[in-house]
Chain A
Amino acid sequence: MTHARHGAPPVTAAAALEVRDLVAGYDQADVLAGVSLTVAPGEITCLLGANGAGKTTLVRAILGLTPPRAGEIRLDGMRIDGLPPHRIAALGVGAIPEGRRVFPRLTVRENLLTGAWRVRDRAAIQRALDAVHEAFPRLREREGQLAGTLSGGEQAMLSIGRGLMGEPRLLVIDEPSLGLSPRFVKDNFAIIAGLRSRGIGILLVEQNVHQTLAIAACGYVLQGGRVVAAGSSEELRHHPALLSAYFG
């Protein structure tokens, strides 16, 4: 880790997250071939694209799980690429990972506490817990239940609640609606839309294009590891690249 690199002055003070010319992948193959995007605080930036476009790979790179091969990632101007995931989390990046990834043999409460790992102040943890319970009363009822025995919808709530527990300044959400019934999907979108008022940056990966564009301020369309369209939600809604990204 080079300190000079990470201590570089902010490029865009306004962006919560700035990704520039990112190359990342697995084994030999690059999945992302130079992706750039920014996420502003206080609004939702969405990332759209068909299966295999590289959305989760981008998320993993931001979280430090798949270290980038080239390019830069900045959080509030500070370089975070190359840092281990727990350090990135400690800087205020919260995650609601693809597939929910609740800890099956921890209780609901313990799962939430892992989300507040970087918070040392007990009172602050209690406040975060109360806020999550307010948003998801179901999680309070099931506090002592093992997460692995929750229904899919309840696990989704838990994963979202856990991602909020650390009071992040950037929240990365990867397909929170996957596998949920339409009613839950609707609730989920309402909750995520509600997060905008927290003033944090939100990067939302989603497949429900229309619902996503309805709550996002702007977005990017990824295809084959490249950004093929970018703009406000208005512009994207009618963008031909969006159609071709999904339907070839």
Chain B
Amino acid sequence: MLAQHLFNGLMLGVIYALVATGFTLFFGVMDVIKFSHGDVVMLGAFTALATYAAASGAGITHPALLLAFMLAAALGVMALLGALMARVLVLPLRGAPAINVLLITLMAGTAIRESVRLFYPQGSNPKPFPRLLPEGAFEAGGFTLRYDSLILLGLGLAAIAATGLLLERTRLGLAIRAVAQDPETAAVMGIPFRATVLATFALGSALAALAGVVNGLYYSEVNFGVGLLLGAIGFSSAVVGGLGSVWGAVLGAMVFAALQTAGALVVPGGSAYRDVFAFGAVIALMTWRPAGLLAERSAERV
């Protein structure tokens, strides 16, 4: 029983971590909160859904192949969209008050959400997400471990690990971290500011798309409003983690998922209140540690 909850919590934590990482990356390089991030998660899921419809319409039936197409399209298109949004919404507002970026991306997110609702076929209804992963499960004393969940968990964890490696071991990662800590000095060393910002937003948005697809596959459903909650949770997780590092974001996401799971367990009436419980606990946590769990030391980021 406990193992079951632990597993479910971990699965949620991984989805949230994928979203929270984007918030942390964007804040790192540009000092901004991109409010449309949750809607990019949702749009990633719908891009995958549309790709599924197109590919199966073209006669492709192999589930792994379908899934590969869906992931490639969702991640690729969202990465491009992320870079585009950075180019037209975020970079031009450099030097303007941070609240302007917050507002402009809030509006962009609403536009994305409403567009999906209006223009996606029957966009206002919840959409079934195709079940493409192997069915079946391990059973052991009341503990059910579905193969599909296991694959999703592995996929999410692999993506987080790959992001960590990219940031810590590659040239691009070095650029992102240097720009986050001191963009002027980074530029003087030859690291292009704009290109690095665009790459960072592409990376964060691809991770958001992955979160959207994993979330869709996990719940076998997606709706146009899913980004609102996932965005709020990802943002909270990033802030709880201190907005300072990807590992902080992952920690924050796990804390949030643990709170939700605990809320579903201990609060009478259970899972209906899990979000209220988790957000309440986050509020309490933030009054206790205003700078987040892994408090950022002065001017040190990513």
By a beta-carbon cutoff of 8 Å, the part of chain A in contact with chain B is 63-65, 84-86, 89-90, 95, 97, 101, 103-106, 110, 113-115, 117-118, 148, 162, 166
Contacts and interface: CB of A to CB of B under 8 A. Distances in A.
Contacts of B185: 97, 101, 103
Contacts of A148: 297, 300
Contacts of B182: 101, 103
Interface string B258-296: 000000000000000000000000000000000000000
Contacts of A86: 187-188, 190-193
Interface in B151-210: 174-175, 177-178, 181-182, 184-193
Contacts of B189: 89, 95, 114-115, 117, 162, 166
A117 B177 contact: no
Nearest to B181: A103
B299 interface: yes
A114 B191 contact: yes
B188 A97 contact: yes
Interface of B: 174-175, 177-178, 181-182, 184-193, 297, 299-302
A106 B178 contact: yes
B218 to A, nearest CB: 34
B187 A89 contact: yes
A166 B190 CA distance: 9
B141 to A, nearest CB: 46
Contacts of A118: 190
Nearest to B193: A86
Contacts of A89: 187-190
Nearest to A92: B190
Contacts of B302: 105
B177 A105 contact: yes
A65 B190 contact: no
Nearest to B192: A86
Q: Which 6 A-B pairs have the closest CB atoms?
A: A89-B190, A85-B187, A117-B190, A118-B190, A101-B185, A86-B192
B187 A114 contact: no
Nearest to B195: A86
Contacts of B192: 84, 86
B184 A114 contact: no
A117 B191 contact: yes
A114 B183 CA distance: 12
Contact of B174 (A64, A97, A106): A106
B230 to A, nearest CB: 29
A84 B187 contact: yes
A85 B301 contact: no
A89 B301 CA distance: 24
User: Which of A84, A105, A110, A148 has most chain B Cβ within 10 Å?
Assistant: A105
Nearest to A63: B188
A106 B193 contact: no
A105 B190 contact: no
B193 A114 contact: no
A186 B184 CA distance: 29
Nearest to A93: B188
Nearest to A162: B189
A163 to B, nearest CB: 9
Contacts of A90: 190
Nearest to A110: B174
A85 B191 CA distance: 9
Given A113-B174, A114-B174, A106 B190 contact: no
A110 B184 CA distance: 17
A105 B187 contact: no
Nearest to A111: B178
B60 to A, nearest CB: 40
28 contacts: A63-B188, A84-B187, A85-B184, A85-B187, A86-B188, A86-B190, A86-B192, A86-B193, A89-B187, A89-B189, A90-B190, A95-B189, A101-B182, A103-B177, A103-B178, A103-B181, A103-B185, A104-B181, A104-B300, A105-B181, A105-B300, A106-B177, A113-B174, A114-B189, A114-B191, A115-B189, A117-B175, A166-B189
